[in-house]
Structure 1
Amino acid sequence: MTPRGTLRPRLAAALLALIAPLAATAATLEAGAPLPPLALEDQHGKAVTLGAGTRLVIFAADKAASDLINEVLAAQPDGVLTRLGAVYLADISGMPALVTRMFALPTLRAMPFAVGLGRDAAQLADLPRRKGAATLLRIDAGRIAGVDHATSPERLRQALGLGSPP
């Protein structure tokens, strides 16, 4: 039996141990926040960076968003991401490794544009996301100038300034 005076410090320490990891998780980025450095590879194993020329980050947090972005970008002429000053990132951390190797990577390698792949959930955890929506982060001088979400090909083309399908 423990004395009553020692129970409270132990309980407080246990609660702190449970809460500390939650406080340490990254907050979702918003307008005005600096663009965080990222160390990702694309579907071909090449480094993907967010450099000084990056004006737009297009982010897919789930398969529906990825399918939407792929549909819109695949219909564009080669070099669309470069012309837009854009980097496309996809969170594939929840995908089983076998599915990634056998299905996702071969499909992605056939795409005419690079996709930075977040294989670890922590890599892209602070990017804003909505289920089934493509996230667009507008970048100005290394800071997030605006956040937008698109749930349809028309809305995504409009947000990217691409107009009607070719």
Structure 2
Amino acid sequence: MRVLRSALLLMALLPGLTWALEPGERLAPWTLLDQNDQPYTLSDDLQVLLVARSMTGANLVKAALKEQPKGYLEANKVAFLADISQMPKVISTLFAIPAMRDYNYRVLLDYEGRVAPRYPGDKDKVLWLMLDHGRFVGQRAFESAEALKDALKAKAK
């Protein structure tokens, strides 16, 4: 009985754990809605996945993309995923998501925190996952909008 209880406790805790990605590992598939309720499914064409786990990270992306034209991320095979699972539902519904609809870029919204935790990193930084045909190649982390902007410009060349 004690072993069964321990096993059940371990199984309950496993979804909350994050594991480091290994180079060459294929990312598990997922589909999320964006700020306009349009679905996006992880694609093998994607080369960079930006992940923000907090308003701090999301604001870094916003500042880095401020002067970029609509469709800039998509044209460069980049997607932006924002974990909004910790945001109170009333705030996200009434304020945050309606404000995002004015952005000139797509924001993939992780309402339940089921995708972003797969990719470990500092919650106040923007995680940059490099992908090749759906496989993890490497990662970087950004804590400055200017550095993120420069990396995006270099990627676009």
Q: Specify if TM > 0.5.
A: yes
* Distance apart, 1:162 and its partner CA: 5.0
CA contact (8 A) 2:83 2:113 kept: yes
Match of 2:149 in 1: 157
- Which digits, 9 at most, give the CA deviation of each residue in 1:45-101, with x for residues without a partner? 001122132111111111100000011112212221022111111000111110001
Aligned residue runs from structure 1 range 81-160, under 5 A: 81-160=73-152
Unpaired segments ≥5 residues, structure 2: none
Task: Tell me the secondary structure at the aligned position of residue 114 of structure 2.
Answer: helix
CA contact (8 A) 2:18 2:119 kept: no
Confirm whether residue 76 of structure 1 aligns to residue 65 of structure 2. Answer: no
CA contact (8 A) 2:50 2:126 kept: yes
Aligned length: 154
Match of 1:42 in 2: 34
CA distance in 2, matches of 1:128, 1:12: 30
- Which digits, 9 at most, give the CA deviation of each residue in 1:99-132, with x for residues without a partner? 0011101110010111000001123220222121
The structure with the largest alpha-carbon Rg is 1
Letter in 2 for 1:98: V
CA distance in 1, matches of 2:43, 2:51: 16
Confirm whether residue 54 of structure 1 aligns to residue 43 of structure 2. Answer: no
Bigger relative contact order, structure 1 or 2, given CA contacts below 8 A and separation 6+? 2
Letter in 1 for 2:28: P
Match of 1:17 in 2: 8
CA RMSD of aligned residues (A): 1.8
Unpaired segments ≥5 residues, structure 1: 1-9
CA distance in 1, matches of 2:3, 2:44: 46
Among the aligned pairs, what percent are the same residue?
29
